Amino acid sequence: MIYAIQCGEGGPIKLGRAEDPVKRLRHLQTSHHERLKLLACEPADNDEDAEKAVHQHLSVFRIRGEWFRPTRQVLELVERMGEGKAELSIYMKRARTYLENVRKRQSKVDLINIYLGLKELVRREKLKNGESIPA
């Protein structure tokens, strides 16, 4: 289950995951000086992936860790979660697309490095055999 817990009135919002958000709230409250409030929670097919996707989507509003500024975008997501309409799968799809693009770019970088490495090996072999190398 993905949850949203707010610190005080208008304070930062923690977006996390827990099997029991109420129990998680109680646990967090024991070590927090301000009153915490459970704003919303929503089940997800894969809590860990959904949590990562939400964090990625809202990363520009992150304060630290799982705590986010209560911006319009963050509050809109929390409101949709409260209505059961957050559609966390959308964020998961966006995160997967982002990761796939990162992997593709990394693959291209890896291929370029392999090519350059092989080119250098050929150059050294030619030098070793006394062959001329074009500039």
Boundaries of every domain in the chain: 1-135
Q: Give the end-to-end CA distance of the chain in Å, rounded to a whole number.
A: 62
Within its chain, how far is the Cα of 12 from the centroid?
Answer: 18
Residues 120 and 3: their CA atoms lie apart, in Å, by 53
Rounded to whole angstroms, the Cα distance separating 7 from 15 reads: 11
**Whether pLDDT at 91 is above 60:** no
Q: Write down the pLDDT at residue 95.
A: 60
Give the pLDDT confidence score for residue 84 in this predicted structure: 63
DSSP assignment of 38-94 equals: EEEEE--SSHHHHHHHHHHHTGGGEEETTEE---HHHHHHHHHHHTT---HHHHHHH
Between these two residues, 122 and 21, which has the higher pLDDT value?
Answer: 21
Pick from 31-35, 63-67, 76-80, 111-115 the range whose average pLDDT is largest: 63-67
> What's the gap between Cα 73 and its chain centre?
16
Cβ(48)–Cβ(1) under 8 Å?
Answer: no
Does the pTM surpass 0.85? The reply is no
If one compares 95 and 131, the residue with the highest pLDDT of the two is 131
Tens of pLDDT, residue by residue over 27-69, are 999 998 999 999 988 887 777 888 888 898 899 999 999 999 9
